[in-house]
Amino acid sequence: MARITFLGLGVMGYPMAGHLVAAGHEVTVWNRSAEKADRWGLAHAGQVKPTPEDAVFGAEYVCMCLGDDPDVEAVFSAFEGNIAAGMVVIDHTTASAGLARQLAARTQARGASFLDAPISGGQAGAEAGTLTIMCGGEQATFDQAHALMSAYGRSLTLIGETGSGQLAKSVNQICIAGTVQGLAEGLHFAREAGLDIDRTIRAISGGAAQSWQMENRWQTMQDGDYDHGFAVDWMRKDLRIALETARETGAATPVAALVDQFYADIQAMGGGRWDTSSLLARLGRKPDC
């Protein structure tokens, strides 16, 4: 059993912290919304603290699952003084590789270890404990934290040095953006051409066009049901990070840049909280179709 602090109880962090309790760990949480933290504490019999620094004191592991670089920087700065030698800090936020490298250096200066470990799998994956976790850091730190992260992750991979996990998450989001846009255009084309969409998807999903998005989202997209976890607002944040890094490295990402603008259109339609499959809505799908 380990003493773990979990900071950030959003749609991902809330169930992730619960899995740690179920695995037998002693878990203390903090969340910006105290009401949500209190609700988690009642549901999981865990400790709730009013500030990040209070929550971190005495922990062996500190997990963060926050929103964006400024959130991570602010929370880390709040508890930095309570980082103790031997502690492991794990950041599950999708943030920039540059910030990961900065925080790793600050953590190591206090005799502790750091992993950037962004996650993929959405709310459903967090609730089921089947997340994919892409890590950057030292092999020894990854090995030490592996059992802990296995409480909510099914696929855990050390990509490379610090920042590599965040870079790999950008690869993940670039691939998702293109795949979902392709699926949205295919469904839109099928509808406009008068095809039986169910039969069409059954025909093509056994071949090279098959994808997780097709298998799990074509029907909900066809139904205009866009309430499946990972919101457009968050996808745009992730793509912003990916596109900024692409500019820094000279990588060409024209499709990701275009789909990012399509997601901006979704936001303008009032769909910022719709899930990422809502790209079909932009193509003129009517609810009664």
Residues 195, 156, single domain; the answer is no
pLDDT value of position 230 = 87
**pLDDT digit string, tens, across residues 59-71:** 999 999 999 999 9
Q: What is the residue range of 83's domain? A: 3-161
* Contact between residue 97 and residue 242 where contact means Cβ atoms under 8 Å apart: no
Where does the pLDDT of residue 285 fall: very low under 50, low under 70, confident under 90, or very high at 90 and above? very low
**The pair of three-digit structure tokens given for residue 147, joined into one six-digit string:** 């059992």
Residues 263, 149, single domain; the answer is no
Q: Is the confidence at residue 222, as pLDDT, over 50?
A: yes
Q: Is the confidence at residue 192, as pLDDT, over 90?
A: yes
Q: Which domain-ending residue is among 132, 161, 190?
A: 161
Q: Which domain-ending residue is among 98, 132, 161?
A: 161
Mean pLDDT of 282-286: 71
What are 231's strand-pairing partners?
275
Residues 127, 185, single domain; the answer is no
Number of structural domains, the chain?
2
pLDDT value of position 154 = 97
**pLDDT digit string, tens, across residues 75-111:** 999 999 999 999 999 999 999 999 999 999 999 999 9
Assess if residue 148 is contained within a domain: yes
Assess if residue 288 is contained within a domain: no
Residues 123, 252, single domain; the answer is no
Answering whether pTM is above 0.85, one says: yes
**pLDDT digit string, tens, across residues 228-260:** 878 999 999 999 999 999 999 999 999 999 999
169 counts as catalytic: yes
pLDDT value of position 140 = 98
pLDDT value of position 133 = 98
pLDDT value of position 286 = 46
Residues 36, 169, 237, 286: which is the catalytic one? Answer: 169
Which CATH number goes with the domain that contains 18?
3.40.50.720
Which CATH number goes with the domain that contains 251?
1.10.1040.10
